[in-house]
Structure 1
Amino acid sequence: MERFETEKLLGSEVRGRGTTSNATGRYETTTRDGFDDGWTAENALPPLRTEVSNEIARSLITYNRSPDLPFDRSINPYRGCEHGCSYCFARPTHAYLGLSPGLDFETKLIARANAAEVLRKELSARRYKVAPIAIGTNTDPYQPIERDRGIVRDCLRVLAEFNHPVAIVTKGTLIERDMDVLAPMAARGLVRVGISLTTLDPGLSRRMEPRAPGPIQRLRVIRALTGAGVPVRVMTSPLVPGLTDHELEALLAAGKDAGADAASWIMLRLPREVSELWQEWLAEHEPNRFDRVMARLREMHGGRDYDPRWGHRMRGEGHYAEMVAQRFDMATKRLGLVQKTPPLRTDLFAVPEQPGDQLSLF
């Protein structure tokens, strides 16, 4: 049986990446096994480069019926994420593409180049019923390749044209580029942004989320957005027991000081391949905390690394999970951070007239 250790890479080849493994995806019929053939000295390999391929999307809006989620539809302009967060729960989705949830997830990205065009078509359908669309629920929409591709910006322009409500989740500072679209939408009650703030320790952030902006930059983005009238939720997600959970109150206070008016939290989730990848990262970067972190997680999931059941997967259960929930409730009440925010407006939605449409007689 293949293990992640067989695919561990070394040195400059994986510098700045969230994992050093590239195990075969679970749907592949063959396996890879890395070994030293003696030709390349350690640390002599060039760094891994990000590869981006285009996908012509046939559909864009994905619907869900999960009671754990506050939305029933989302769009993801990209597959894979260059931010390379070691804990990312979306890593297993790369296996569906015949790629590894490890290094492939953060180096072999897929851009859905015609996303805005498909979105316009889907919103224009007669049977479409408006409800807030979430962006960034799987991979970060404002990861570095968005700077050149601009797919998210094009999608936001379409949503603005239709007066369609949208909720965005990101760690990226590039969202500031789209303030000219977001601010007018916010003034009409059509947009809310969630900024994920995992730690205030820049060193830990750099190791755990190697290509994502650091905590100072994320707090600056909250200030910029709220200063332009865009409401922001500070998302203390994921909380890592035994590693970052002690920062909960400080994270909430920092978000409030930066202008956030709401808050949420999710415990670290380790579905499928993420568990081994996370344990590998933990053993390398925080070996002294390995046993404590994993013991806490298993305590909250009935002895397993992860419990996928609805109602349990986001926060776990038991004494420790309840204690974190109580701390969060007390801190948000003290700081005046709400958990439930007013719904985004749906009454403004309208399909704009297109060239060739029959003109109205009234």
Structure 2
Amino acid sequence: MDKSNLTIRSVRARAVDAPISRPVKNAFGVIRSAPLVLIDVMTDQDVTGRSYIFGYARLTLKPLVQLISDIGADLTGKPVAPFDLMAQMDAKFRLLGWQGLVGMAVSGLDMAFWDALGQAVAQPLTALLGGTPRPIRAYDSYGAVDPVADEKDLRRSLDQGFRGIKIKGGDGDLANDERLVKAVRSLIGPDIALMLDFNQSLDPSEASRRINRLAPYDLHWIEEPVAAENLEGHAKVRETSPISIQSGENWWFPRGFAEAIASGASDFIMPDLMKVGGVTGWLRVAGQAEAASIPMSSHLFAEASAHMLAVTPTAHWIEYLDLARAILAEPVEIVDGTITARGHGLGLSWDEAAVAKYLA
């Protein structure tokens, strides 16, 4: 049987609310668990493609499951050809638009299609795309930290070999941001990259004011200082910033990145597989990043991102945040502060007992 020619037989979506190792506090609240939707694309040749997406809040889970199930039903009987399927979904939702839950659903399905192709030929997605799995340097991603209460965790990150630590800012005033940054820099030393994420919480003037005050602490990047859609504001902050600006997790699909790059919105970019259009969208953005000589990192989804960064010409950093660890049969591994793509396809398999336990 030729498993290189797959046809979609059915699509299943399940919602879980998975525990995470530590809460993630940001400028707008605290994420205490991971509301995930698990996607299984079953094919006519008993090959199943898998992916998951992150709903941010439990209230998104039911509509996401419904959307993915309904879109999947429309795709039943079609060949697993991701570029063709993306074009069909683009046409289907052109008038409605890509952003929001629809874009998340489409991106999640695309990831599962590519996973199925890798599973069918027993190859990692990286190899299917013409590359070789390799270690990608990772940074450990924190929320707004308490330098005293979180010291043990931060030192554990260093013991695991992480060469980068990201923390959140913007949940207090400038003095609080400076206190946290100063304390963490002192704890991790001068040789570890320290990133600060404002999660879109500032206006351009306040962002510039805070960045100037924080410059002495040798920050590797400032992430999303202003609203993601405010490209002019990003460019204004970047123009005078002594620290590199990072953004992209909330830019939607390749067109969003093309507009951001054209506006000079950031020094670095970090697409989110769930918002960029899955694997298909990522590949197109990677080409834009190469053409513009912009370093490209990942946002979330470390398992899949390790495959994608291995074939990204300007690969920079991979973010580590263990959103899916509790429901994966083989969670991602940190080796000397790096993550390497593994398994066939995206390398995902569910721990079904855990899935049953955390069904939402």
The structure number with the bigger radius of gyration is 1
Bigger relative contact order, structure 1 or 2, given CA contacts below 8 A and separation 6+? 2
Using structure 2 for the length normalisation, give the TM-score.
0.36
- TM-score, reference length from structure 1: 0.35
Q: Which has the higher strand share?
A: 2
